[in-house]
Amino acid sequence: MRRLHPSPVGDLTDGDLTDGDLTDDDLAEAYRLPPGRSFRVDFVASLDGAVTVDGVSAGLGSPGDRRVFTTLRALADVVLVGHGTAAGEGYRPVTADSAVGRRRAELGRAPSCRSRWCRGGRRWRPATGSRRRRRCW
């Protein structure tokens, strides 16, 4: 993984993320957003550009990728998820006892956040398809 902004601090390898040298707090600090408005995108892709294996992305990620994914969700105010991804991966709301919910609490954040999904070029809607706000998936 390469950090481009703000100021590069070097590459993080999967070994950095899985061998215990980089703590969860170190990882949260590395990915903490600067003050003000920000937008972040994160996904895993294969060398040939595929973003799924057998219809889901779970087969592409390493344990280090999953640590980053959990950290980014824990730091997020809103998570945007494609409808196909949410349906195919079986996304569910974050609960206080989930990995993301626990990490959010450790970082002093509420155990949930807003979530939005989009389908077929239609406008963004709450993750449930209703107009009510729901918890982060």
Q: Report if residue 3 sits inside a domain.
A: no
21 lies in which domain range? 14-126
Q: Report if residue 54 sits inside a domain.
A: yes
pTM (two decimals)? 0.68
CATH code of residue 52: 3.40.430.10
Q: Report if residue 133 sits inside a domain.
A: no
Q: Report if residue 7 sits inside a domain.
A: no
Q: How many CB atoms lie within 10 A of CB 101?
A: 22
Q: How far apart are CA 90 and CA 92, in angstroms?
A: 6
pLDDT along the chain (137 residues), means of 10: 49 55 87 85 84 81 86 86 79 82 91 70 51 42
Q: How far apart are CA 14 and CA 80, in angstroms?
A: 25
pLDDT at 10: 53
Q: Report if residue 131 sits inside a domain.
A: no
pLDDT at 107: 92
Q: Report if residue 134 sits inside a domain.
A: no
Q: Which amino acid is at 5?
A: H
**How many domains does the structure of the chain reveal?**
1
Q: Report if residue 112 sits inside a domain.
A: yes
Residue for token pair 């209703």: 130
Q: Report if residue 61 sits inside a domain.
A: yes
Residue 82's nearest CA partner among 122, 119, 113, 49 is: 119
